[in-house]
Amino acid sequence: MPKIAKWLFRSLLLVTCLAGFLHAQSSPRMQILLREGQAALDRGLFEQAVQDFEQARQLGPENLQANRGLLLSYLQAGRLSQAAQFGREAVAHWPDDAQLQHWMGLVYFKSRQDTLALEALHHSEQLDGAQFEIHFDLALVLLDRNQYAPAAAELERALKLKSTNALAHLLLGRAYQNTNRTVQAIEQFQTALRLDPMVPLGHYHLGFAYASLGRNQEAIAEYERELKRSPDNPSVLYQLGHSLLESGDEKSALANLKKTADLDPQNGDAFYDLGKALALAGDTAAAVGALERSIQLKPADPSPHYQLARTLEKMGKRDQAQTEWHHFAQLKQAQPQTGGMASGRVQ
């Protein structure tokens, strides 16, 4: 066969193969599978979505939508090892696809690989900074690492894109609260509750912010609102009991602190406050038991020794009280010195 004829034959063969490949990528069957996979994701049928997108990818390995859908389906179905392996391959093939980088960041986050998660999410953000979800998910990872200032910055960016998201306002409030911006935190918690009165733990976080400013009556009101929705939440019960105790209502505090201790028997702070409340109520014997339990749970904390020493003195047990005063002094001396605003517990 002449060279020109061979060249024409090979060209026609290549065109034919390419046409078949492109047809598979955009065939009616492919489009049906992509639609069905997305519908399954929307309905929360993640295993069905996996099957649909796997079939779609078999028809068109180079179809970006099929690859995105399959990675997200693996992630939502909890198949983290498959998601990680497949995601690395997809990201290597499409390194500048913001969605793949985003999903891969969440795969790493759910796998407790926060450093890799941050790297992928930052890359996704650089590729497409106009997506609320990317900023929001990046903030979640930063909050998980207690990096509150950068988390606040990400949530601020997210809310510029979607200002009506109640959960983002709530999380921004938490970030502000943990960076000594309590007044701004209160504003965010209030906004979150206006947008969604049922936002999870909205009243709890608002109450905590009020309490940190010494506004105990406002804190108590918020904790009581939260308690109506979460009557057996030990964190809410404890903070309500703590604020009641701080406000001088040890009788009301006792009921909440006792319930907290029952629900969360490893909470050393709850037993400490319970001991204080019992001592104020005149039940010194029960107070001693609660304070000793607090010491067992938090052996490096000097405060329970202080309260126990005072209680033992009231009971006339001066030798035992002296021992507790000694423990208190030793532990207090061992604590690191802090400057600026007071950070120690009010005894």
Taking the C-alpha atoms of residue 190 and residue 169, their distance in angstroms, rounded to an integer, is 9
What are 88-101's pLDDT values in tens digits? 999 999 999 999 99
**pLDDT tens-digit series, residues 273-328:** 999 999 999 999 999 999 999 999 999 999 999 999 999 999 999 999 999 999 99
Asked whether the predicted pLDDT for residue 347 surpasses 60, the reply is no
**Which helix (H) or strand (E) segment is 322 a member of?**
helix 318-334
Q: What is the tens place of the pLDDT at every residue in 119-131?
A: 999 999 999 999 9
Dihedral in degrees, nearest 10, Cα atoms 294, 299, 300, 302:
50
Q: Which pLDDT does position 255 carry in this prediction?
A: 96
Average pLDDT, rounded, for the chain: 90
Residues 46, 40 contacting (CB under 8 angstroms): yes
Tell me if 135 sits within 8 A of 125, measured CB to CB.
Answer: yes
Model confidence at 17: pLDDT above 90: no
May I ask the CATH class of domain 258-333? mainly alpha
- Continuous segment of H or E residues that includes residue 154: helix 148-161
Is the predicted pLDDT of residue 215 greater than 90, yes or no? yes
Q: What is the pLDDT averaged over residues 206-230?
A: 97
Question: Which residues of the chain form CATH 1.25.40.10?
Answer: 38-128, 258-333
When pLDDT is averaged across residues 244-270 and rounded to a whole number, the result is 97
> For the chain, how big is the Rg over CA atoms in Å?
29
C-alpha distances in angstroms, 300 versus 16, 305, 336? 76, 10, 12
Least confident of 18-22, 26-30, 65-69, 124-128: 18-22
* Architecture field, domain 38-128: Alpha Horseshoe (1.25)
Helix, strand, or coil (residue 328): helix
> What is the arithmetic mean of pLDDT over 147-176?
98
* pTM for the structure as a whole: 0.84
Q: Is the dihedral of CA 245, 248, 250, 253 positive or negative?
A: negative
Residues in the chain: 347
Q: How far is Cα 119 from Cα 105, in angstroms, rounded to an integer? A: 7
pLDDT tens track for 23-43: 445 689 999 999 999 999 999
Whether residue 345 has pLDDT greater than 90:
no
